[in-house]
Amino acid sequence: MPAHPLVNGRIPATVGVLGGMGPLASAAFVQTMYEMAVERTGPATEQALPRCLLDSDPSIPDRTEAILTGGAEALSRLIADRVDALIRLGADRVVLACVTAHHLLDEVDPGQRARLVSLIDAVFDELAVAAPGRFLLLATTGTRQARTFERSPRWPAVAHRVVLPPPEVQDEVHYLLYRLKREPVTAAVVRRVEDLAQQFGCVGVIGGCTELHLITRWRRANRGGPVILDPLLGVAAALTKLTDV
C-alpha cells in the first residue's frame, strides 16, 4: 500500500470512529468530517484527506439500559475491546460517537484512553466560545442518571450556563433523541428542539447526544433551526488538530 501523502511535512493521523450508537449519527459524522476537510483543503486531491476507520455496529447494547439496569460493566468491556481493535487497525485517535457511552470508559486502559477524543470536553470547548446566555442540555436519561457532564472537573466553571431539564421534560427529551435514531429529521422535530430551548429561556441547546448531529446537518442544509453546541461538529472542525501528529 502506498504511503499516505505528507501534509505540512507530516503524515496525518488515522482517525477511528466507534459508531453504530446510532448508526445514522456516526455515518453523518464521518461525512461531516470529510465535508469540512474538503472545505479547508479546497482543490487539494482526495489523497490528502485523512484516513478514517469506522466501526459501525448497531448491535451494541443500549447504553442507557445498561446504566439503568446494572449492565454497564459488561458493556464497558465491550467498548474497550472495540477501541483496542481500532487502535490495532492503525487508529491514532478514536472518537467514541456516543455521549452516553462516555460513562462506560472505566475498562479502557490509560494508554487507550489517551487516544480517545472526549465529546464531553468537546461540549465544554464549544460552550467556552459560544454566545452569552444559557443552553439547555439535551441528553439521554442514561447520561443524566450517570451525571456524566456534572462529574467532569470542567463542570463547575460552566454549570451556571447549563439548564438541566426537569424529570417530566427529560422523559420527552429522551424519547425525542431515540426518535432521531429511527426516523429522518423533520421540520417538526427541529421546531420542538427550538421550542424546548425557548421554554427554558435558553439561547440554544447542548448536543448531549450524538443524534443531535443529525439536526446540526439539517440546520446547515436549511439555514435555520436551533443553535446547537454539537461536539461532533466541534471535533470535525478541529480535525487538523487530531490528524497532525
DSSP structure string for 112-135:
HHTTEE-HHHHHHHHHHTSPSS-E
pLDDT value of position 201: 98
What's the CA gap between 130 and 115, in Å, rounded?
26
Q: Is 26 left (phi over 0), alpha (psi -120 to 50) or beta?
A: alpha
- Distance CA(211)–CA(213), nearest Å, equals 5
- Grid coordinates of 128: 467556552
pTM: 0.92
How far apart are alpha carbons 92 and 115 in whole angstroms?
A: 7
Rounded to an integer, what distance in angstroms lies between the CA atom of residue 216 and that of residue 218? Answer: 5
Q: pLDDT by residue (tens digit) across 68-88?
A: 999 999 999 999 999 999 999
Give CA–CA dist 171/165, Å, rounded: 9
If 0-12 CB within 10 Å is exposed, 13-18 middle and 19+ buried, where does residue 105 land?
A: middle
Instruction: Give residue-wise pLDDT tens across range 191-215.
Output: 999 999 999 999 999 999 999 999 9
Q: Mean pLDDT over all residues of the chain?
A: 92
pLDDT attached to residue 223: 84
